[in-house]
Every structure is written in structure tokens, then in C-alpha cells.
Amino acid sequence: MTSRSGPTVFVIDDDIDVRASIQGLLRAAGLRSESFATAEEFLHNKELDGPGCLVLDVSLPGVSGMELQRKLTDAGVHIPIIFITGHGDIPMTVKAIKSGAVEFLTKPFVDQDLLNAIQQAFDRDRITRHQQGELAELRRRHESLTVRERQVMSLVVSGMLNKQVAFELGTSEITVKIQRGRVMAKMKAESLAELVRMAAKLDLPVSKK
């Protein structure tokens, strides 16, 4: 956590004293952090390509914390968010959590509660990045298949036998067996069940032709 390549906590709050207090706490805990006074400043200065989380004030001048959460989601950025606020209410909390927030803390909050939430956010971020990496690798493998191999894979994972696939594609059963073997090898699937799970993760349409 203390390495330069470790996760970063991005603190966004228009109150300079709050930012300084949170960064002091994070420093004492050995955590990296960067702070911003507004959502706009954050958006204009950060490329969110590394691990981390946001400690985000709900009430900000300009773009609010909730609006920033929506903007990041719309942009496909899934950084975990911990909301902090001086005047939270139950509906606001429910909305934030349903939209993916890790935690919603009301000021003044207990330091350990924030540190616990940050650790939870880091854990979530690590899991998400691992899943995204796995999916990217599956897509790379699928893209390595020929057009015919993709057709064979689609029909095989739909539950068709080799002879049925051969009939659908107008080819021989032997040819389908060879192509199926290539699909299994390229996708690095050790069983049909695993290939089906891969297709589900890729959200591939189950073709009949």
C-alpha cells in the first residue's frame, strides 16, 4: 500500500481543512492520496487508469458528488466511491449505495470508519480490475478465432452435437471435430462446461447458423 505503484485515494472536498485532515490521516496510515477542491478540477487533472478510490463530498460547488458519480459511471469508469457529507439523509444514502458507492459517511466521522471503508474500496477495486483483466483476455482469445471457428463455438455452446453442427454448417463431422478442437485450444478451455462459461462471460449470442 505504501509503494509508488500502490492504490491512491482521491479526496474531493471544497473545504481545505477537511482535505488536509483526511490527507493527514491517510499519510499516517501509509496511504497515498491526492486532493481536489471540485469535481471539475478532478476531471480535468486525472487519468483514472490506476488502482484507487474516491473520498467524495456530496455537496460541491458546480458538479455535485452525486453528479460526478453519474458522470464516471456513464464514462465507464468504475472507481469505488466513499461519500462524505455534513447533511446526509436516508434517501440520499440509499441512492448513493444503489448506484455503487462503497460507503456513505456523515461528518464528523470516525477515522477508523473511513480507513475501513477505504480498505473495502481497495478490495472491490482489485476484484473489479482482476475481472476486467480476465474478460479482456477472453475477448483476445475469441478474436483469435476464425469466422468459422466462432460459428462452431456458438453452435457447440448452444448444446449441439458435432453431427448437428456439421449439418448446420454444411460440412463433415470430422471437420467440425477438428475445428472444435482448435476452438478449445485457442480459448484454453479444458472442457465444454468451461467453454460455455466463457461464452456467457463474453455475452455471446447463441447462434443457430
Per residue of the chain (209 residues), give pLDDT as tens. Answer: 333 458 999 999 999 999 999 999 999 999 999 999 999 999 987 667 788 999 999 989 999 999 999 999 898 888 999 999 887 676 777 788 887 889 999 888 999 999 999 999 999 999 998 998 999 999 999 999 999 999 999 999 999 999 999 999 999 999 999 999 999 999 999 999 999 999 999 998 765 54
Contact (Cβ atoms closer than 8 angstroms) between residue 114 and residue 78:
no
Contact (Cβ atoms closer than 8 angstroms) between residue 104 and residue 117:
no
pTM across the whole model: 0.73
Contact (Cβ atoms closer than 8 angstroms) between residue 62 and residue 91:
no
> In the beta sheet, which residues pair with residue 32?
8
